[in-house]
Chains A and B, each alone.
Chain A
């Protein structure tokens, strides 16, 4: 606490001497360090609210899975584990490109920064494309929660074969749709976060091309990186909870 106060006092002193005034420094901050600290803390705090936001849905997931274990396993069997697995790899890859973008922002390499931001955006679109294919299949089979809910019979038979003579084969079709309610809520809200992330990243590319970022001033990139990794981590939880629980 004491050191922090001291830092601020020093900072104030510096500002009074007007040694440097970066064009990216907002009027209400004393110096770049204070501005960067505020941004970073703000993003972490925001991510905490995001955890609580997803937390409500994870709670619903836990509750409904506990009361309908067979239905959740059967529902999980309906999903395409290959496409889900590819998407997991795509997202982890996009986290790598994002981390590289942050690295080249720190080192001030503009062209590689732009390149890796674009790569992250591209991988984001690949993820959303694959997700759209998965959603499309569910739509075409009528596996949409609601009055006309249907499941893919082929996969249902596979599931029953897998659990032949097993108590797990007793699946109440009406309750099966609870799995898909949760599935569409969780993946839909997650995809929305991806879309927002891609939008933010596009703005960053635009700014980067206009030479806005430098090793001294690039906290936008770092903050977008934190956000992107968070969205990635949410998917790391979603994938096993939704795709893998029926396959043991």
Chain B
């Protein structure tokens, strides 16, 4: 008997609740987690699932460090006077917050953790194409993280996360060179991850897993990898040029010795605008999976959603100039960049519309991942639409370098990526750990995060519109009410992030054991045990069904309890 069944067969062939344990061809006890307990087996592992967990620990650690900086910033902004820290220290606080959150958290978060774990599982492969390179990418991440952390610890950087010259050229006497080198190394970690995903998607798909049967998660990660491969080398060489300039006192970007500061901005944003999509597309990958599973419907317009990911990756490379509207860019160039920036909103909008259309007449259940996904759609819509304000030439001049920009990208990065990341962690937690998290606490904290997030960042739109500039530690007293609201929201947000940390750790020991497919989802990752064995599948799966083919509930065999009015409740199908 094959261990892999189409989702239609599943309830008939996998009785889940027999008293002596589940009927499986393989004893469920052997899995990637308990295959070997030695430290060596973790640090030298080539198993993509273990490397994903190594990333999970390190990336989560830096998320909490970055959050501490955020809290310090919000604490300083509680009062109009700069009374907590000096201006120079404040410069370092927001720089460290930005560098840690972007380069050490957002960029690796979803691809390196969930992507690493799921890409081979979803396409029915035993591993990524290059397991050793995958491990190398984690070590490069750690080396880069150590270099960046040491730059922060011996004195810090005060240039802002984007290292603009002249803040970062020979005028700065903070540790720009060291931080730049760290990010250079982190870039290679990201390149290797992208390379692995691209090759894996091309060559490692299981028999029958055609391109249009791939889960949308894979399409989005493919697009993300394209950006990682084409964009990251450019930021690497930019930072190398900056390091070269500072080390040898030559002018590449410094105009006093022949350089061109705007060249830095062009090179930097050539990577860093697409990098926004490195952070965003994996989030969209998760949302597509969650929306389909929790509405129990095929994604509306699968091909449109798939190709919109590729379109975002391609168009994303043509819009960097919208960061230079108020630099020395010609008005004509500005108009073109403005136009393309509007155009890039189209594929993003296609996704939002298609998710919404998927919800229409679906059998929606409001589990924690779905709450995060619904929150994502709303917040990403706000983040995306306010982006259009900033892509308009005239409007942008008013809003540049104000809190409006800060609010905009936090709606996209936190309201978008971070919510998707949390939703994804909850959704695949049973698969990763083999345990269920407490659903009630999950829903509760999802709501706390949503409320806290909006309270933190919505006032910042207003502040920016009223003209409060970003990156100052003091502000006129009339802005105080909105700033206090924002800081209060940040505290709520901090609680919302701490609760999952506690109950997820708790569930590792005390959570109920998860079945193979607790959500009755369709992907291949649910057709193997939870947690999966080291080789992912006992037998190579042969795919004969389309992505997101959900069985109608009426056809499914009821294996669990019935509600008082003789109808099966949802959990009775999956045996939870």
- Shortest CB-to-CB span from B74 to chain A, Å, is 36
Does residue B410 face the partner (Cβ distance < 8 Å to A)? no
Binding-face segment, A35-43, A83-91, A122-130, A207-215: A35-43
Supposing A28-B127, A38-B199, A45-B229 touch, asked if A8 and B207 sit within 8 A by C-beta, the answer is yes
- For the complex, give the distance between the alpha carbons of A59 and B111 in Å: 30
- Selected from A38, A49, A55, A174, the residue in CB contact (under 8 A) with B129 is A38
- Shortest CB-to-CB span from B339 to chain A, Å, is 23
Residues of B within 8 A of A175 (CB): 258
Does residue B189 face the partner (Cβ distance < 8 Å to A)? no
Residues of chain A touching chain B, judged by Cβ–Cβ distance below 8 Å, are 1-2, 5, 8-9, 12, 26-28, 30, 34, 37-38, 41-42, 45-46, 48-50, 52-57, 59-60, 63-64, 67-68, 144-147, 174-175, 177-178, 181, 185, 189
Does residue B384 face the partner (Cβ distance < 8 Å to A)? no
- For the complex, give the distance between the alpha carbons of A147 and B571 in Å: 74
- Selected from A12, A54, A146, A189, the residue in CB contact (under 8 A) with B250 is A146
Q: List 9 A-B contacts (CB under 8 A).
A: A5-B205, A27-B126, A45-B198, A53-B234, A56-B237, A145-B248, A177-B250, A181-B251, A185-B244
A42's closest neighbor in chain B, by CB? B199
- For the complex, give the distance between the alpha carbons of A96 and B244 in Å: 34
**A147 adjacent to B249 (CB under 8 Å):** yes
A10's closest neighbor in chain B, by CB? B207
- Shortest CB-to-CB span from A99 to chain B, Å, is 24
Contact with A along B197-208 (1 / 0, CB 8 A): 011101111111
Residues of B within 8 A of A42 (CB): 129-130, 133, 195, 199
- Selected from A38, A63, A146, the residue in CB contact (under 8 A) with B249 is A146
The residue among B206, B211, B250 with the most chain A CB atoms within 10 A of its own CB is: B250
Q: Is the interface of A mostly helix, strand, loop or mixed?
A: helix
**B234 adjacent to A56 (CB under 8 Å):** yes
**B232 adjacent to A1 (CB under 8 Å):** no
Does residue B341 face the partner (Cβ distance < 8 Å to A)? no
- Shortest CB-to-CB span from B69 to chain A, Å, is 30
Supposing A45-B195, A177-B250 touch, asked if A9 and B207 sit within 8 A by C-beta, the answer is yes
B120's closest neighbor in chain A, by CB? A28
**A49 adjacent to B267 (CB under 8 Å):** no
**A60 adjacent to B263 (CB under 8 Å):** yes
The 3 closest A-B pairs by CB, nearest first: A56-B237, A53-B233, A28-B127
Residues of A within 8 A of B260 (CB): 63-64, 67
- For the complex, give the distance between the alpha carbons of A146 and B244 in Å: 11
Contact with A along B218-250 (1 / 0, CB 8 A): 000000000001111110111011001000111
- For the complex, give the distance between the alpha carbons of A2 and B209 in Å: 10
- Selected from B237, B244, B249, B542, the residue in CB contact (under 8 A) with A53 is B237
- For the complex, give the distance between the alpha carbons of A112 and B232 in Å: 39
B127's closest neighbor in chain A, by CB? A28
Q: Which interface class (under 10, 10 to 19, 20 to 34, 35 or more) fits B? A: 35 or more
- Shortest CB-to-CB span from B15 to chain A, Å, is 27
Does residue B352 face the partner (Cβ distance < 8 Å to A)? no
**A56 adjacent to B241 (CB under 8 Å):** yes
Residues of B within 8 A of A1 (CB): 210-211
Residues of A within 8 A of B133 (CB): 42
B534's closest neighbor in chain A, by CB? A27
Residues of A within 8 A of B129 (CB): 28, 38, 42
**A34 adjacent to B234 (CB under 8 Å):** no
- For the complex, give the distance between the alpha carbons of A178 and B130 in Å: 41
Residues of A within 8 A of B502 (CB): none
B266's closest neighbor in chain A, by CB? A59
- For the complex, give the distance between the alpha carbons of A26 and B200 in Å: 14
- For the complex, give the distance between the alpha carbons of A189 and B244 in Å: 12
- Shortest CB-to-CB span from A42 to chain B, Å, is 5
- For the complex, give the distance between the alpha carbons of A79 and B251 in Å: 21
Residues of A within 8 A of B130 (CB): 38, 42
- Selected from B125, B126, B252, the residue in CB contact (under 8 A) with A60 is B252
**A145 adjacent to B267 (CB under 8 Å):** no
Residues of A within 8 A of B82 (CB): none
Supposing A52-B230, A55-B234 touch, asked if A28 and B126 sit within 8 A by C-beta, the answer is yes
- Shortest CB-to-CB span from B223 to chain A, Å, is 14
Residues of B within 8 A of A144 (CB): 248
Residues of A within 8 A of B236 (CB): 53
- Shortest CB-to-CB span from A104 to chain B, Å, is 27
**A181 adjacent to B250 (CB under 8 Å):** yes
**A41 adjacent to B234 (CB under 8 Å):** no
Residues of B within 8 A of A185 (CB): 240-241, 244
| Interfacial residues of chain B within 112-161, with CB under 8 A of chain A in the complex | 125-131, 133
- Shortest CB-to-CB span from A46 to chain B, Å, is 6
- Shortest CB-to-CB span from A9 to chain B, Å, is 4
**A174 adjacent to B267 (CB under 8 Å):** no
- Selected from B126, B204, B240, B250, the residue in CB contact (under 8 A) with A38 is B204
**A12 adjacent to B207 (CB under 8 Å):** yes
- Shortest CB-to-CB span from B1 to chain A, Å, is 15
- Shortest CB-to-CB span from A171 to chain B, Å, is 13
- Shortest CB-to-CB span from A179 to chain B, Å, is 10
- For the complex, give the distance between the alpha carbons of A86 and B535 in Å: 53
A56's closest neighbor in chain B, by CB? B237
**B252 adjacent to A181 (CB under 8 Å):** yes
Residues of A within 8 A of B354 (CB): none
Does residue B540 face the partner (Cβ distance < 8 Å to A)? yes
Does residue B26 face the partner (Cβ distance < 8 Å to A)? no
| Interfacial residues of chain B within 259-297, with CB under 8 A of chain A in the complex | 259-260, 263, 267
Residues of A within 8 A of B199 (CB): 38, 41-42, 45
- Shortest CB-to-CB span from B210 to chain A, Å, is 6
A30's closest neighbor in chain B, by CB? B540
Does residue B191 face the partner (Cβ distance < 8 Å to A)? yes
Supposing A12-B540, A175-B258, A177-B258 touch, asked if A52 and B211 sit within 8 A by C-beta, the answer is no
- For the complex, give the distance between the alpha carbons of A111 and B18 in Å: 64
- For the complex, give the distance between the alpha carbons of A60 and B270 in Å: 13
The residue among B205, B206, B230, B258 with the most chain A CB atoms within 10 A of its own CB is: B258
- For the complex, give the distance between the alpha carbons of A179 and B263 in Å: 16
Does residue B39 face the partner (Cβ distance < 8 Å to A)? no
**B252 adjacent to A41 (CB under 8 Å):** no
Supposing A5-B210, A8-B207, A181-B251 touch, asked if A49 and B244 sit within 8 A by C-beta, the answer is no
- For the complex, give the distance between the alpha carbons of A175 and B260 in Å: 12
- Shortest CB-to-CB span from A61 to chain B, Å, is 11
- Shortest CB-to-CB span from B156 to chain A, Å, is 27
- For the complex, give the distance between the alpha carbons of A56 and B242 in Å: 12
**A178 adjacent to B251 (CB under 8 Å):** yes
- For the complex, give the distance between the alpha carbons of A154 and B100 in Å: 52
- For the complex, give the distance between the alpha carbons of A181 and B253 in Å: 11
Residues of A within 8 A of B195 (CB): 42, 45-46, 49
